[in-house]
Each structure stands twice: as structure tokens, then as C-alpha cells.
Amino acid sequence: MLPRSVCQDPAQWLPPLPTAHCRYLAGSTATKLRGDLAAGPAELDALAVLASGQCKDTSVIYTAVP
């Protein structure tokens, strides 16, 4: 069984500790970018809220899959 964080996007689940939200946001976004995966409307809204607020200084680093 996969952990809850693997099965849900930031619109559905965030780590319990607010200090981990930005790291989770960056990791989730990097996974989407790396795999050229789409994000749904609710996920995009959640990402936009976090990225424009508490995570505005968070960088997303990833390597695209060839």
C-alpha cells in the first residue's frame, strides 16, 4: 500500500506540518514536470495559492525524462 502523500495531490492532501508544505509542493510539481504529467483544475488552484503565498520563494528543480 502506498503512503497517502503518494496517492494524492496538493489539492487533496498536505503534510500535517506547515513547515513541510513547500517541500511537498516542490516535490509534487517536480514529479509532474519530470514525467510530463497533467494537473487537474483543483490541483492547479492549490498550487497557485501555495506558490503565491507561503511558498513564493520555493524553487522547483527537476530533470525531464527523455
Contact 57, 50 (CB under 8 A): no
Percentage, residues of the chain above pLDDT 70: 89
pLDDT value of residue 65: 83
What pTM did the predictor assign? 0.80
In the chain, % of residues over pLDDT 90: 76
Question: Does residue 31 belong to any structural domain of this protein?
Answer: yes
pLDDT at 3: 55
Assess if residue 34 is contained within a domain: yes
Query: Does residue 36 fall inside a structural domain?
Result: yes
Q: Residue 2 — pLDDT band, cuts 50, 70, 90?
A: very low
pLDDT of 6 higher than 60: no
In a domain, 10, yes or no: no
Instruction: Please state, in angstroms and rounded to a whole number, the distance separating the CA atoms of residues 45 and 48.
Output: 5
How many separate domains does the chain show? 1
